[in-house]
Structure 1
Amino acid sequence: MNENWRGAIARHLLLVIGPALLLGLISGEYAWAIVIGLCAYLSWNIRQLLRLHAWLRDRQPDEPPPESTGLWGEVLDSIYHLQRRDQRARDRLQAVIDRAQESTAALRDAVIMLDRDGSLEWWNNAAETLLGLKMPQDVGQSISNLVRNPRFKEYFDQGNYRDALEMPSPVDDNRRLHVQITQYGNADHLMVVRDVTRLHQLEQMRKDFVANVSHELRTPLTVIAGYLETLLDNGQGMNPRWQRALQQMQQQGARMQNLLNDLLLLARLEATDYPSDNQPVAIDLLLLAIKNDAQALSAGHNHRITLDADPHLKLKGSDAELRSAFSNLVFNAVKYTPDEGTIAIRWWGDEQGAHFSVSDSGIGIEAKHIPRLTERFYRVDSARASSSGGTGLGLAIVKHVLLRHRARLEIISIPGKGSTFTCHFPARQVVQRG
């Protein structure tokens, strides 16, 4: 308590004791006069305290405190000034909030605020257009109950929002949405939804073009390959120069056949979200067959190929698609591992799900290339990839197969020491073999 307050209290006590002493001088009862004066002063303070209590209990917003005099007047004036200062701060904060909401409402992208359980708290006008949300009846509703898309429910429930989700709009199947969720604060969610219909249409046109061209090229390429094979089979006495040319043409024709097959496979993978033959697959037996093929591919290079597969773990999915993805990873390890190198194939499970990995002691990959490895036709070393006969589509196929099986690919590589490609499958895709 500062000196001003102490002085004010001393003055108020003197104002009470002075009249009490005067009354005692007149009546001759000094003690009773002081007691009566102190009781009167105490009653007045209790009355002021009760007025303050009633104001705090029943006051309306921005209602000023009651007026008084003396020490209580100074206290109530201080409360009034604090109230006004707090009101100005709230007004400034509300102005910022209003401006933020106005600017967000003007966005063409939908912005939705969700609590930690996924219940709707606030959204802008675009969310009503893109997702069909309605104010105020949808406030407090779970977003999963209003956006009834299985892929969205999986995306929201998994809690891993590193990648975005693309899905059709709940109010218009012809409209494609790009959904990105960010967690903030107390595990609350901020969801941003963008209309990417035009980009999706352009991407679909590109896919259709590639698929159609690949399909149309198969027939003439098959005819050319057939004639080349016939010419080579009946080429006794042919000029060696012509024979070498025909052999090179046959090799390049086979390479084009592989490229078209991979392009058509990618087109089939992109056509649907789920494999049509979604059945439990015995991964240990599948990997044993792939290992045998890898050893045949490695003939003459003396690679040490090991397999460690849990026989009790099956995986729900397509046998053909999983075989294509896993063999791509294993055969790549064989192609890019020097002679006498080691290749380790593993299949195991834990509480997160099941995992498949291929580790090699090959040439490794620089970190700058890793984010782009699953792009179509992306090559770390074009000359080496061409000499190995690759199409540049292997890891793109792996990526799409894993997406269809709700899995993700992790790549760890150290140049000169080797690489590890790991496929992580969620627990819901795993089946325990009886």
Structure 2
Amino acid sequence: MKRLLQTEVIRLITFTLLGALIGAFWGQPALGAAAVLLIILASHIRQLLRLAHWLKNPEQTPPEARKLWGEIFDGIYHYQRRQKTAKQQLSQLLERIQDSSQALRDGIVMIDHNGDLEWWNHAAEHILGLSPTSDRGQPITYLIRNPKFIDYYEQQNYLDPLIMSSHISEERMLEYHITLFGKNERLLLVRDCTKMQRLERMRQDFVANVSHELRTPLTVLAGYLETFSDYADELPPRWQRGLALMSQQSARMEHLVTELLTLSRLETSEFKAEATPIDMGPLLATIRTDALALSGHKHNIVLNVDEQLQLRGSINELRSAFSNLVFNAVKYTPDGSTITLSWQLDNQGAQLSVQDNGPGIDNKHLRFLTQRFYRVDDSRSSQTGGTGLGLAIVKHVMLRHQGHLDISSCIGQGSCFTCHFPASLIYTPDFI
């Protein structure tokens, strides 16, 4: 193209000089040069008009031309062909994406930056009851007016899904996932999880019922074993060992049933934070005293408590959670270890941490510790009487208090379990 442009400039100069030479025969060289320039200009204007006409009718073949204009017409024609091919490929890709989205059983809804409904698939139309004629362009919060969904939508904390009953039928449970993209646009994924929720409810009811039914026979067994223990000295040594083992395992089973019932209650009951703030100082001091009794005063348990910092919540649930953390530290650290129990403000609210200088936990176990019955070392848990439910209880207590549990550990340097509470549950009298 550069070479053609140079050729065109040389051609223009040549014809201009030729026109000036012809005009010189009549004594008007400037007039001759101007006439040639006008002829060349008219030729270019003609080609521009042909180009404009062709661009208005791109389906026609490009005009025939030579040299520079020929290259321009050919270049535009090939560019149009490439653009047309790319447009067809993009159109086919969009059709495939839409077809695949329409085929999904889960509902997909695109929400624009204003929060208005922009597009959805057939599944979303069925699950959410959307109407293509009246709902397009309407705010999503006008369609789903549940306060839980509105809070979830506006807080923009979409790490975890929202599970709640459908606004169409309360018997139907839906799971909502929201993903941010573009300029404050959102993609809403809706899944019907009614069957999974029913199965989870059945599991919870089964565990609760079995645990409740086990409590009565275990109580009877424990009572008779305690009675027999009063006459253990009169029994042969072999029977004494058997009686001691039965008493130990009976107590362990009672402890397991109690924790199963506690976990079941945490999972199934509604939580309402108590209005009266909890004085954390005496609560943690009591837990420290119980932990020292469990340890036989073989551990050094240090309290680091902000006495002015109080917490709104269920004192029984929080006592259970904090006791689990401290008692675990006592059970799984050797005698002479130091356990630090801290209650302080942090950037997001307040935190309670239980830190020890024990053997530590391998990082590969950390993300599984709050699962039911998960044990890092089965033999060690059987020796200490652990059930594998303590940290699961802590996790559910924290969820009910809008908080979360963080676990950090390093082999040979100890572990730290930190309960984070939001600022909305914090009460500091000095600042009121």
1:300-322 deviation line (CA, Å, top 9, x unaligned): 41x12122223343333212111
Contact residue 273 and residue 312 of structure 2 kept, 8 A: no
**Aligned residue runs from structure 1 range 73-152, under 5 A:** 74-114=71-111, 120-135=117-132, 137-139=134-136, 141-152=138-149
Aligned to 1:321: 317
Aligned to 2:201: 204
Q: Does 1:361 align with 2:357?
A: yes
Q: Does 1:293 align with 2:290?
A: yes
Q: 258-267 or 197-206: which moved more?
A: 197-206
**Aligned residue runs from structure 1 range 292-311, under 5 A:** 292-301=289-298, 303-311=299-307
How far does residue 269 in structure 1 lie from its aligned partner after superposition?
A: 0.9
Aligned to 1:332: 328
How far does residue 418 in structure 1 lie from its aligned partner after superposition?
A: 1.1
Aligned to 2:401: 405
Aligned to 2:416: 420
Q: 73-82 or 322-331: which moved more?
A: 73-82
1:318-368 deviation line (CA, Å, top 9, x unaligned): 121111111111111111111110111122223322222111112222222
Normalised by the length of structure 2, the TM-score is 0.85
Distance in 1 separating the partners of 2:167 and 2:23: 87
Secondary structure of 2:367 counterpart: helix
Aligned to 1:177: 174
Distance 1:132 1:281, change over 3 A: farther
Q: Does 1:249 align with 2:240?
A: no
The runs of 5 or more residues in structure 1 that have no matched partner are: none
Q: Percent identity of the aligned residues?
A: 50
Contact residue 273 and residue 401 of structure 2 kept, 8 A: no
Contact residue 23 and residue 30 of structure 2 kept, 8 A: no
How far does residue 430 in structure 1 lie from its aligned partner after superposition?
A: 3.0
How far does residue 37 in structure 1 lie from its aligned partner after superposition?
A: 3.5
Q: 231-240 or 117-126: which moved more?
A: 231-240
Secondary structure of 2:169 counterpart: coil
Distance in 2 separating the partners of 1:279 and 1:109: 44
Secondary structure of 1:94 counterpart: helix
Normalised by the length of structure 1, the TM-score is 0.84
Distance 1:67 1:428, change over 3 A: farther
Contact residue 62 and residue 74 of structure 2 kept, 8 A: no
1:263-319 deviation line (CA, Å, top 9, x unaligned): 111111111353364653333442232222222222241x12122223343333212
Contact residue 65 and residue 79 of structure 1 kept, 8 A: no
1:154-186 deviation line (CA, Å, top 9, x unaligned): 544554544444333333332333444445556
1:213-270 deviation line (CA, Å, top 9, x unaligned): 1112222222332333334446674555545544433332222222111111111111
Distance 1:65 1:200, change over 3 A: same
Distance in 2 separating the partners of 1:184 and 1:147: 21
Aligned to 1:4: 4
Distance in 2 separating the partners of 1:364 and 1:142: 51
Contact residue 342 and residue 360 of structure 1 kept, 8 A: yes
How far does residue 142 in structure 1 lie from its aligned partner after superposition?
A: 4.8
Q: Does 1:429 align with 2:425?
A: yes
Secondary structure of 1:372 counterpart: coil
Q: 326-335 or 228-237: which moved more?
A: 228-237
Q: 98-107 or 249-258: which moved more?
A: 249-258
From 269, 278, 283, the counterpart of 1:272: 269
Alpha-carbon RMSD across the aligned residues, in angstroms, is: 3.4
The runs of 5 or more residues in structure 2 that have no matched partner are: none
Distance 1:15 1:85, change over 3 A: farther
Contact residue 274 and residue 312 of structure 2 kept, 8 A: no
Aligned to 1:352: 348
